[in-house]
Amino acid sequence: MKKDICAYTYEQLQTEIQALGEQRFRAKQIYEWLHVRLAEDFSEMTNLSKELRGRLNEQYEILPVVMLEKQESRLDGTCKFLFRLHDGHVVESVWMRYDYGISVCISSQVGCRMGCRFCASGIGGLERNLSPSEMLGQVYRLQKLMGERISNVVVMGTGEPLDNYDNLLTFLKILSGEHGLHISQRSITVSTCGIVPKMYELAKEHLQITLALSLHGATQEKRKRLMPVANAWELEEVLAACDDYFRETGRRITFEYSLIHGVNDTPEDARELIRILKPRNCHLNLIPVNAVKEYHLKQPDRKNARNFKNHLEKYGINVTLRRELGADIDGACGQLRRSFLHTQTEEADL
Ligand code: SAH
């Protein structure tokens, strides 16, 4: 079987290429072709001899991430993509324009096994983990398709990144490394539902990435109703892991909180949120929940959401109410992939 050449860090690729009897500088050239020039075939690597290109092609492969579908929001230019992987699985990614640059949101797994009660990604369970090169492949494909330099990457698409920890770490190292696209770690965000032991592990890496914690409930009871992962770790344990991350890295945690009408948007919820966030140096991101066909959850109306935010602000919480991008396309996590799989099944039924 051919080896996945994009999954090697710079140092690992040097070892690989030296083992082929080649000099170190060849590894630098190849790495640049893969991670800066975003080559998709060894034949593009014209500063290597034909013979070496041939040998690379025999032993290694560059796994394709192919665009299947693109939805563009007419409201704000946000684009949502469906990509096909080498084994036919599909994942989704999002491309967004902000004042500060281009941000992309990528998936870390095919499906997800966390089963959050408002999220479309978990409905079909987990299919498999994505390799580092498949995570990179989404970024690279988006950069090539859209032709603009990507400045920010958020791992907030389908999947739980800390449930695919080793691959995530390699991905982060290659993405931010000086020999690759060199995206600043401060411009990378990893979002987790709160896999406590992995949060401690990540803190020990001392990366400068932002860790986002999906909170969604400000008490253990509330959280448990929305997120099965809360059965494994108490809210207090999750918050202690967040504090540890901040201590180890100096990076403020972003808490994410999807506002769901009548479920977690009451004045009592706001009080509980203030109680846990007030003592912490953090940022709170409120996101009106995206309606998912399979669940009966409603967004609070805009006025209520704003009141909720203002109330928290009055108590000194650093809070933003996320501007909704791509509201007219299948915006929420896992929705595009689900509707795609759905049409496929319907077609198969015909
Ligand atoms: N598994 C990771 C990352 C993927 S989800 C995590 O849980 O953080 C990225 C964010 O979108 C999470 O905060 C998730 O809870 C939230 N999310 C999922 N479905 C949503 C929906 N229907 N509406 C609003 N936010 C949603």
CB 45 within 8 A of CB 53: yes
CB 81 within 8 A of CB 69: yes
pLDDT at 297 exceeding the cut of 50: yes
Per-residue pLDDT band for 322 (boundaries 50, 70, 90) equals: confident
Mean pLDDT, to the nearest integer, of 137-145?
A: 98
Select from 256, 243, 258, 337 the least CA-distant residue to 291.
258
Select from 342, 256, 224 the least CA-distant residue to 292.
342
Per-residue pLDDT band for 229 (boundaries 50, 70, 90) equals: very high
Tokens standing for residue 80: 């949502």
Q: Nearest C-alpha to atom 24 of ligand 1 is from which residue?
A: 289
pLDDT 10s digits, 164-173: 999 999 999 9
Per-residue pLDDT band for 319 (boundaries 50, 70, 90) equals: very high
Share of the chain above pLDDT 70, in %: 93
DSSP one-letter string for 227-263? -GGGGTS-HHHHHHHHHHHHHHH-PPEEEEEEE-TTT
Tokens standing for residue 107: 């998936």
Q: What is the torsion angle, in degrees rounded to the nearest 10, for the CA atoms of residue 199, residue 336, residue 326 and residue 216?
A: -40
Ligand 1 atom with the shortest distance to the CA of 158: 4
Q: Which of 164, 192, 213, 258 to mutate to test the pocket of ligand 1 (most atoms within 8 A of CB)?
A: 258
Question: Strands, E, within 112-262: which ranges?
Answer: 126-129, 150-155, 188-192, 210-214, 253-259
Other CB atoms closer than 10 Å to residue 2's CB: what's the count? 12
Whole-number average pLDDT of the chain: 94
pLDDT 10s digits, 77-118: 899 999 999 999 999 999 999 999 999 999 999 999 999 999
Q: Which of 105, 119, 242 to mutate to test the pocket of ligand 1 (most atoms within 8 A of CB)?
A: 119
Distance 333 CA to ligand 1 centre (A): 6
Is 119 considered catalytic here?
A: no
CB 93 within 8 A of CB 70: no
pLDDT at 346 exceeding the cut of 70: no
Q: How open is the CA angle 330-162-100, to the nearest 5 degrees?
A: 55
Mean pLDDT, to the nearest integer, of 45-54?
A: 98
CA 220, chain centre distance (Å): 25
Q: How open is the CA angle 251-177-283, to the nearest 5 degrees?
A: 20
Tokens standing for residue 332: 């929420």
Give the C-alpha separation, 21 to 159, whole Å: 39
Check 16, 22, 61, 92 and give the catalytic one: 92
pTM exceeds 0.85: yes
Q: Nearest C-alpha to atom 22 of ligand 1 is from which residue?
A: 290
Q: What is the torsion angle, in degrees rounded to the nearest 10, for the CA atoms of residue 15, residue 142, residue 148 and residue 145?
A: 110
Distance 334 CA to ligand 1 centre (A): 9
Distance 19 CA to ligand 1 centre (A): 43
> Where does residue 128 rank: exposed (0-12), middle (13-18), buried (19+ CB within 10 A)?
middle
Indicate the residue type of 303.
K
Distance 45 CA to ligand 1 centre (A): 39
Give the C-alpha separation, 33 to 40, whole Å: 9
Tokens standing for residue 285: 């991101």
Residue partners of 300: CB distance under 8 A and separation at least 6: 259, 260, 261, 265, 288, 308
Is 333 considered catalytic here?
A: yes
pLDDT at 348: 44
Distance 13 CA to ligand 1 centre (A): 34
Give the C-alpha separation, 307 to 265, whole Å: 10
Q: Nearest C-alpha to atom 7 of ligand 1 is from which residue?
A: 193
Length of the chain: 350
3-state secondary structure of 72: strand
